[in-house]
Amino acid sequence: MKDKRVYNNIIEAIGNTPLIKLNKIAEDIPAEVWAKVEYFNPGHSVKDRMALKMVEDAEKEGKLKPGGTIIECTSGNTGMGLAIVAAVKGYKLICTLSDKQSKEKIDILKAMGAEVRVCPTEVAPDHPESYYSVASRLSKEIENSFYPYQYDNMSNTKAHYETTGPEIWEQTNGEITHFIVGVGTGGTISGVAKYLKEKNPDIKIWGVDAYGSVFKKYHETGEFDENEIYSYITEGIGEDILPKNVNFDLIDHFEKVTDKDGALVAREMARKEGLFLGYSCGSTFQGLRQLKDELKPTDKVVALFHDHGSRYVGKVYNDEWMKEQGFLD
């Protein structure tokens, strides 16, 4: 029998990430809590899954041809997934990022062969200098290029419906009662939710949002309130747009978490569980803490942790940076 951990290339190593029980940090939560730890993907994040799916679907549809250029706006992790796929498949890659992203993310993307364009955070999404607009413009200027646009590309949701959702269902023997995850493009929560709710409609789906993002209010009122939008520090969750991948009908509740709490809980997770996680993973667990009164001892919760702490060594795991933000005394 072939050893399934022998691969022809790095792309084949994407997916089948472990489910790890949370112990010390979850002592005050009246339910069993398990972490779906996505930094075991080769690009150290959940985004490897949808990066591969978007490229494969584009190839099938003839939108991406040999020798082509992939152009994407990213907060870093999707760019990393695309960089891995581009390296193996022989494509060029240009990533546009906002200037709030960590230096580590930019340096890693460059190391992986991507060309990086850094754009200002403090501009509207439709401003010509926003990282959305720059990616869109480059895709029109560069011949034989493909702009996946992860926010509205439904291959994003499909990747998680086909892989992440089934993995979680099997790993919990179908006993999962709650799924919680930070929401950015929406592909992870929507794909997993679609699969799990088809299996058991009673499973609760909780999304974690940032203060400064539009998701929670839009979910509760149907109003896109521009007054909700302001700059925040947490990376990878929340948006100032409504991506098509966010299926609000499948999400039972959004919980907002502060920048400070997300950062402090990420650090706590490293000390208590040995899990060196990204910023939004701290936000996800803090969201669960804030909702613990909704849980009972027979519940089985799965929290999905997006990425690895190596992306945030200069920020969340740097005492000076934390002090500058007022997060540490």
Residue 74: partners with Cβ closer than 8 Å, 6 or more residues away: 82, 95, 96, 97, 150
Q: Which of 155, 218, 148 is nearest to 183 (CA)?
A: 218
Specify the DSSP element, H or E, that contains 11. Answer: none
Choosing from 4, 36, 47, 296, the catalytic residue is 47
3-state SS, residue 45: strand
Rounded CA separation 166/175 (Å): 13
Q: What are the CA-CA distances from residue 124 to residues 30, 75, 171, 226 (Å)?
A: 42, 16, 42, 11
Examine the residue annotation and report whether 47 is marked as an active-site residue of this protein: yes
User: What gap in Å lies between CA 206 and CA 291, rounded to an integer?
Assistant: 9
- Residue 307, both tokens: 């990425």
Element (H, E) at 91: none
Query: What type of residue sits at position 216?
Result: K
Please list the active-site residues.
47
